[in-house]
Amino acid sequence: MTSGLAYVPLPTTPTYGATKAAVHSYTESLREQLRESSVQVIEIAPPLTRTTLMGSGTDNERAMPLDQFVAEAMSLLDSQPDAQQILVERVKRQRFAEATGTYDEVFAMQAGR
């Protein structure tokens, strides 16, 4: 389990973002080391989701409703059994920020600027 924050950090939680970036890196190497085995390594990177974590609460309008996240993530796991990452639509802005040239914009938004 990583997070969209593995790809663009949230300045108010620097350690959390750093550990998620580390887990992303770890899964990449672990998957390669286990490539010839029967073990599959799948990274699930949720967006902000309505759980009690990080004070998101169950009524945070900015967070994805938990049931919607679970339904979309399970559907992806079902339809993409060989996926290396499970990315619901709402996390793609963070996940691909660097690749799409929007990193500074997403980072500034997460910084509250």
Ligand X SMILES: NC(=O)c1ccc[n+]([C@@H]2O[C@H](COP(=O)([O-])OP(=O)(O)OC[C@H]3O[C@@H](n4cnc5c(N)ncnc54)[C@H](OP(=O)(O)O)[C@@H]3O)[C@@H](O)[C@H]2O)c1
Establish whether 16 is a catalytic residue. yes
| Residues 46 and 65: beta-carbon distance below 8 Å | no
| Residues 87 and 46: beta-carbon distance below 8 Å | no
DSSP-derived 3-state class of residue 93: helix
Tell me how far, at minimum, the Cβ of 40 lies from ligand X, in Å. 19
Distance CA 50, CA 54 (A): 10
Residue given tokens 């998957």 in the structure block: 31
Which x/- pattern over 30-69 shows residues binding ligand X (rule: CB under 6 A)?
A: ----------------x-xx-xxx--x------x------
Q: How many residues make contact with ligand X (CB under 6 A)?
A: 10
With respect to ligand X, which residue has the nearer C-beta, 28 or 70? 70
Identify any residues that bridge with 85 across adjacent strands, giving them in sequence order: 43
Tell me how far, at minimum, the Cβ of 66 lies from ligand X, in Å. 8
Site residues for ligand X per CB under 6 A? 1, 3, 46, 48-49, 51-53, 56, 63
- Which residues are annotated as catalytic? 16
